[in-house]
Chain A
Amino acid sequence: MEHHSILRVVSKLLIPPMLVYALYVQFHGEYSPGGGFQAGVVFAAAFVLYSLVHGIDALTRVAPPRVLHALAGLGVLIFAGTGVVTMALGDAYLGYYALAEHPQHAQEWGIVVVEFGVGMTVASVMLSLFIAFASHTRKLDDKDW
Chain B
Amino acid sequence: MTANLVGIAIIDIVFFTLLVLTAIAILRQRNLFAVAMLSGVFSLLSAGLFVTLDAMDVAFTEAAVGAGISTVLMLGTLALTSRDEAKRPRSALLPLFVCLVAGAALIYGTLDMPPFGAVDNPIQTHVAPEYIARTPTDIGIPNVVAAVLASYRGFDTLGEVVVVFAALVAVLLMLGTSGRRTNGKNGKEE
Contacts and interface: CB of A to CB of B under 8 A. Distances in A.
A134 B139 CA distance: 42
A69 interface: yes
A17 interface: no
A135 B179 contact: yes
A86 B77 CA distance: 42
Contacts of B76: 130, 133-134, 137
Contacts of B177: 65, 69, 132
A44 B150 CA distance: 21
Contact of A76 (B77, B150, B165, B171): B165
A129 B145 contact: no
B156 to A, nearest CB: 11
Contact of A41 (B69, B165, B175, B182): B69
B103 to A, nearest CB: 31
Contacts of B140: 104, 107-108
A32 interface: yes
Contacts of A128: 168, 171-172
A32 B157 CA distance: 18
A35 B151 CA distance: 13
A136 B80 contact: yes
A31 B155 CA distance: 22
B61 A138 contact: no
Interface in B99-155: 138-143, 145-147, 149-151, 154-155
A115 B167 CA distance: 19
Contacts of A76: 161-162, 165
Given A111-B147, A121-B164, A131-B179, 4 more contacts: A30-B142, A80-B158, A128-B168, A136-B80
Interface of A: 25, 29-35, 37-38, 41-42, 44-45, 48, 52, 65, 69, 72-73, 75-76, 79-80, 83, 93-94, 96, 103-104, 107-108, 110-111, 114-115, 117-118, 121-122, 125-126, 128-140, 145
17 contacts: A25-B60, A30-B146, A30-B147, A33-B57, A45-B64, A69-B177, A75-B165, A76-B162, A80-B158, A107-B151, A118-B157, A118-B161, A125-B167, A132-B172, A132-B176, A135-B179, A138-B190
Q: Nearest 8 CB-CB pairs, A to B? A: A133-B76, A104-B140, A135-B179, A33-B56, A30-B141, A94-B154, A111-B150, A41-B64
